[in-house]
Chain A
Amino acid sequence: GAGVSQSPSNKVTEKGKDVELRCDPISGHTALYWYRQSLGQGLEFLIYFQGNSAPDKSGLPSDRFSAERTGGSVSTLTIQRTQQEDSAVYLCASSLDRGEGNQPQHFGDGTRLSIL
């Protein structure tokens, strides 16, 4: 399939470790988004990329979180020195972004992160 692909599907790690989550968007989609969702809660916006640049980093919860996107395609979200409150499902989405605002987002299956 040509959907948004995220890896790993599940990640269990010890508190204090660093983790790296990967997102491969739909081919040709210029916009890429990261969200996280705790159990039973709504989506929390983290960061948005237009091409390789991130005009909006306002949602990153702390300086332990960083994200990059290279080649206008794959993106990685890195969480350093993980804490238990980082446990959540991390969702990536992509969309065409022609400056018209009417292109919907398409989501990957998410990475379920559990911090022990």
Chain B
Amino acid sequence: RKEVEQDPGPFNVPEGATVAFNCTYSNSASQSFFWYRQDCRKEPKLLMSVYSSGNEDGRFTAQLNRASQYISLLIRDSKLSDSATYLCVVNKGNYGQNFVFGPGTRLSVLP
């Protein structure tokens, strides 16, 4: 089993739709969680950290369920500019060498 798994995608949704991505991780000792987005032929960029109580940033909501070892990202009122690959990232420990990137889920928002 991979350490971090994500919905395989791709997701093709119309503008204005709500879309949710799921991510699961295998190491129960994982400490920190993040969502990144990566545009085609660009570098990954931090979208948001994921906090235990869940957090929201505008149209984006992240949730963490430690018991189920599950992270989600919800995008409301999707825009064309949201089209990208979304990467789930887990830090297994206290130090940087334990970052693990998921394979990503590709989203295409269609006009």
Contact = CB atoms under 8 A, between A and B. Distances in A.
A50 B94 CA distance: 12
A101 B104 contact: no
A48 B49 contact: no
Nearest to B106: A40
Interface string B72-92: 000000000000000101010
A55 B97 contact: yes
Contacts of B110: none
B32 interface: yes
8 shortest A-B CB distances, which residue pairs? A31-B96, A107-B43, A101-B31, A56-B97, A48-B97, A102-B32, A101-B94, A42-B103
B43 A91 contact: yes
Interface string A6-17: 000000000000
Interface of A: 31, 33, 35, 42-43, 45, 48, 50, 55-56, 89, 91, 95, 97, 99-110
Given A42-B101, A48-B96, A107-B44, 4 more contacts: A31-B96, A42-B102, A50-B96, A104-B89
A105 B46 CA distance: 8
A12 B52 CA distance: 45
B101 A104 contact: no
